[in-house]
Amino acid sequence: MNVNFVCPLYIVCDKSSSMGQSGFIAAMNQALTEVHAALAGDPMGFDHVRLSIIAFSDNTEVLLPLCQVTEVADMPRVTESGLTNYGTVFELLQSTIEKDVNRMNGEGFRVYRPLVFFMSNGEPLDDWEGPYACLTNHTFRPQLMSFGFECADAAILTKIATMGFYVGQDDADAGRALADVMISLLQQINAFELGRNMAMPNIALANWSVKVPPGLTGEGAGKYRHVGRSTPSPIALDPQT
């Protein structure tokens, strides 16, 4: 695997009280553990991934600064607190991504567009559209995939997603379903870069689709139903220049 490029991945977790009361914080913590296990279990295959964990409510915190997965012994856990505000986390994402990308560019890496996995129940109490527009129109314009839970506000989470929005049909196994979708996308990034290195023209971002667990239309416990925009745009992973 060519390690001259890196893919920054930010997993953003809603830690508000409404998430905790519904049991969804436990599902997120399960997903974080399974994603870490998958990435750490294949350090050569995912050596290009740089991972960060951010939690938010009416305050935000970086639980894990951007780093190689092999540097993480145990994933941090999200703990319940506060109300649901989106604006502050979009502001933090913008400043954090700018700092991280500039640092990695300075280290000589080719940095792909950051990926953001955004997990929430879609019930913000603040005016978040302005900070969101600043984030998505920024020079580094991250791609966002949003994940909701059984009671998620699909209208809001669909607005946030630039790649796709998925909603859980049964929170009992939602953590595993979340992890499956995240890992599927990262595996396709591997396949894309391998194809580029081997000069395989048949591998193209425009033809991607995110592999989701069985039960795509909602049948079965813990499965995810796709709601919109499953295929990344052709410029989804343009390296930064």
Domains in the chain with CATH codes: 5-228 (3.40.50.410)
Residue 221 has pLDDT above 90, yes or no: no
pLDDT band, residue 240 (cuts 50/70/90)? low
Which residues lie across from 13 on neighbouring strands?
Answer: 55, 119
Q: Could you tell me what percent of the chain has a pLDDT over 90?
A: 36
Return the top range by mean pLDDT from 11-15, 197-201, 207-211.
11-15
pTM score, two decimals? 0.83
Residue 1 has pLDDT above 70, yes or no: no
pLDDT band, residue 181 (cuts 50/70/90)? confident
- Which residue did the predictor score with more confidence, 239 or 22? 22
**Per-residue pLDDT reduced to its tens digit, 83-96:** 999 999 999 999 99
Residue 116 has pLDDT above 90, yes or no: yes
CA pair distance 229, 204, nearest whole angstrom: 17
Q: Furthest-apart CA pair in the chain: how many Å?
A: 50
The candidate with the shortest Cα–Cα distance to 26, out of 42, 15, 11, is: 15
Average pLDDT on 5-31 reads: 87
Q: How many CB atoms lie within 10 A of CB 131?
A: 20
**Per-residue pLDDT reduced to its tens digit, 130-160:** 999 999 998 888 999 888 876 778 889 889 9
Residue 226 has pLDDT above 80, yes or no: no
Compute φ and ψ for 143, nearest 5 degrees. -90, 135
pLDDT value of position 3: 56
